[in-house]
Chain A
Amino acid sequence: MDNDIGLWGVPLAILGGAIRVSTPFIFVSLGETITERSGRINLGLEGTLVFGAMAAYATAVNTGSAWAGVVAAAISGIGFGLFHGWICKFPKVNDIAIGIAMMLFGTGLAFYFGKPYIKPSAPTLPAIPLGSWSSSPQLQAALNINVLFIVGAVLAVVLWWALKNTKAGLILRVVGDSSDAARAMGLNPNTVRLLATAAGGALAAIGGAYLSLYYPGSWNERISSGQGLMAVALVIFARWNPLGCFAAALLFGGAGALGPALQSVGVTQGYYLFYAAPYVLTLAIMIATSSPGRMLAGAPGELSITK
């Protein structure tokens, strides 16, 4: 079999890259979706993600189990989420600004406690070689899919279903659309938002665990390239729909993989513009779907960015 597949290498590299790069996006954006559907925005998921990456790596180094690392990340994410959710329930506290502060705090703590873990190597998360039927190494590489990617895909479907069809989903949507309606139903909006932010934090931290335990698969201070912040844009792009998040995560991941893929076949110009494409797209969608009378179609009514 001829291994030189020429230009076909580009779409394959993008596909493989999209799957590899998109997994943290899937988790962070699903987490942010849960939080935002409750009517609160957490811009601090970047900090949670970086801390999750560190906590996962440190735990994996110390216990020898990558999955223990994922659990540790999730627990740390719950902690950050609860903190954000608790502090935002006080009047006059700006949830957007608190998010930025939490981002600084989370990354600071992660770098602080992560310093001793830059050198040791941790066990990595397992991947499933779905491409083993093929003799093309490129295809095998592209279809070598991590378990967390599959978990994320399933989670997106489950969340999409649960938001529509379960009581918990209904409660989340009511609180997100109108605090007053929620109170009239006997719900405490602050409690719901606290739990939603905690769940969002847990997912963001698992996204971080993927970064440090699978791809790129090491812990250092440049582990995140802003996936936590991008998630905010991604959720708007996906219109607060979990299935949309999954698709948007693949798209964002693919756009990120486009540059290196083109470079590998000799196209070196325009690399950075491809990298910016998801942001341009998100901005275009925001401009197209907002109008002076009504902000951001599809957004939860209580969300501070829609007021």
Chain B
Amino acid sequence: MSTSSETSGNTPIIATAPASSLEGLARRSEAFAIPLLALIFGMVLFSVFLITQGRSPLDFLDIVWRGGFGSWFSIQNTLSRASPLLLTALCVALPARLGLVVIGGEGAIVLGGVAAAALGASFTTAPSFIVIPLMGLAGMLAGGIWIGTVGALRHYRAVNETISSLLMAYIAIALMNQLVEGPLRDPASLNKPSTHPLAEAYRIGSIPGMDVHWGLAVGIIACTLSWVLIEKTRWGFAARIAGGNVRAAQIQGLAVGPLIVGFTALAGAFSGLAGMIEVAAVQGNANASLAAGNGYTGILVAFLARHNPLAIIPVSIFLGGIYASGGLVQRRMDLPDATVLVLQGLLFIIILFSETLYGRFKMFNPDLWKRGT
């Protein structure tokens, strides 16, 4: 263990042969071409579905475009919906680099939101530049502990992280309801039990020049930092090795335990931060609306982005746009709002299915070029 994480320089595990630029291009284009192909195939299948329902796929595309991206108003709407997804997708993508499937980010969101709201409501006069970061920290701490526990259980007790995170999400939502209806309840919130409202000074406002709150910027920064962490640091490198083969990583002397706990805790911290932003920028207090399903949509985003933190940004905006256009689709095409859900599910299935295609196409795999035929 003494040489832990010092071995990254001479590890023989990832041996990338010096490749010609054409071969490198072929390998890299696979990561773009297959998701794109899957996306197109998914849209074709969805078009067939629309045609069987007597609707025009072209109308649908047109309305999604106008509702999600076509005007400044719709773009702002799209970005607002995308911003929590940036953080909740990281909660899935970071552990995924270690080979873990964590699906309980929703739990970290609600606990992060409650922690931030409880802390924020206890201040009234302290300056906002202190209180807002403290609230962020409280949210990250709550979420980090929650999902970090999932990672610790995985490593030290071999408890499956998928199931435990799901169970802990239910427990977290029950805890939130208990706290919001009990000790933290604002007696003035009659119909919708909530915590005491935040002072106006502790609310997060909009990014100057647009009607989108600062959560968007926070999310983009978090994605960028996560990308740097995974691609450019020794911890990210160690995580990628451990994700490929835990046994091999341990033989190399990597401290897999702290790595797993650290990555899952960071993942949970991002989801907790999403909860804090939801409280400070949107709701103004913590209540049951925190469990709005952003944690579950984050799973979809992370898988669509193939757990690449930078790819999460465009994917979140893409899905945010589809959400934002949901209302318009419903009104203009007389389709149920669940249409968007059908499209999401379909795209998700096809993207997952496309995993089986990697390495199968000759044009993307230079190793197959030399063998002839």
**Chain B CB within 8 A of A186 CB:** no
Whether the Cβ atoms of A233 and B166 lie closer than 8 Å is: yes
Whether the Cβ atoms of B341 and A111 lie closer than 8 Å is: yes
Interface SS majority for chain B? helix
Whether the Cβ atoms of A101 and B349 lie closer than 8 Å is: yes
- Provided the pairs A104-B341, A276-B171 are in contact, do residues A292 and B356 lie with their beta carbons within 8 angstroms? no
Residues 236-276 of A contacting B (Cβ, < 8 Å): 236, 269-273, 275-276
Whether the Cβ atoms of A112 and B336 lie closer than 8 Å is: yes
- Provided the pairs A94-B355, A104-B344, A292-B158 are in contact, do residues A272 and B177 lie with their beta carbons within 8 angstroms? yes
A149 to chain B, nearest CB (A): 24
Of the stretches A11-19, A62-70, A153-161, A281-289, the one at the interface is: A281-289
Choose among B338, B352, B353, B356 the residue with the greatest number of A CB atoms under 10 Å from its CB. Answer: B352
**Chain A CB within 8 A of B89 CB:** no
Option from A96, A100, A286 in Cβ contact (under 8 Å) with B159: A286
What residues on B are CB-neighbors of A107 within 8 Å? 338, 341, 345
Residues 65-120 of B contacting A (Cβ, < 8 Å): 101, 103
Option from A271, A279, A306 in Cβ contact (under 8 Å) with B171: A279
Whether the Cβ atoms of A286 and B164 lie closer than 8 Å is: yes
Residues 63-119 of A contacting B (Cβ, < 8 Å): 87, 90-94, 96-98, 100-112, 115
Residues 329-373 of B contacting A (Cβ, < 8 Å): 335-346, 348-349, 352-353, 355-356, 358
Whether the Cβ atoms of A93 and B162 lie closer than 8 Å is: no
Whether the Cβ atoms of A305 and B160 lie closer than 8 Å is: yes
**Chain A CB within 8 A of B163 CB:** yes
Interface SS majority for chain A? helix
Whether the Cβ atoms of B157 and A291 lie closer than 8 Å is: yes
Option from A106, A282, A290, A295 in Cβ contact (under 8 Å) with B345: A106
B218 to chain A, nearest CB (A): 26
- Provided the pairs A276-B171, A279-B167 are in contact, do residues A108 and B159 lie with their beta carbons within 8 angstroms? no
A46 to chain B, nearest CB (A): 11
**Chain B CB within 8 A of A229 CB:** yes
What residues on B are CB-neighbors of A226 within 8 Å? 170
CA distance A291 to B156 in the complex (A): 8
**Chain A CB within 8 A of B153 CB:** yes
B52 to chain A, nearest CB (A): 12
What residues on A are CB-neighbors of B338 within 8 Å? 107-112, 115, 221
- Provided the pairs A97-B101, A101-B348 are in contact, do residues A286 and B336 lie with their beta carbons within 8 angstroms? no
**Size category of the binding interface on chain A:** 35 or more
Whether the Cβ atoms of B160 and A296 lie closer than 8 Å is: yes
B76 to chain A, nearest CB (A): 26
What residues on B are CB-neighbors of A108 within 8 Å? 338-345
Option from B101, B300, B339, B356 in Cβ contact (under 8 Å) with A93: B356
- Provided the pairs A100-B299, A276-B171, A287-B157 are in contact, do residues A109 and B342 lie with their beta carbons within 8 angstroms? yes
CA distance A106 to B345 in the complex (A): 8
**Chain A CB within 8 A of B303 CB:** yes
Option from A106, A269, A283, A305 in Cβ contact (under 8 Å) with B167: A283
Whether the Cβ atoms of A283 and B171 lie closer than 8 Å is: yes
CA distance A41 to B159 in the complex (A): 16
Option from A102, A109, A275, A295 in Cβ contact (under 8 Å) with B160: A295
**Chain B CB within 8 A of A232 CB:** yes
Whether the Cβ atoms of B101 and A94 lie closer than 8 Å is: yes
CA distance A229 to B104 in the complex (A): 12
**Chain A CB within 8 A of B178 CB:** yes
28 sample A-B contacts, Cβ–Cβ < 8 Å, listed by A number:
A87-B349, A87-B352, A93-B356, A94-B101, A94-B355, A96-B101, A97-B352, A98-B349, A98-B352, A104-B344, A105-B346, A107-B341, A108-B343, A109-B342, A109-B345, A112-B341, A271-B181, A272-B175, A276-B171, A283-B167, A286-B164, A286-B167, A291-B157, A292-B156, A292-B158, A293-B158, A305-B160, A305-B163
**Pairs A-B, 3 closest by C-beta atoms:** A105-B345, A108-B341, A111-B338
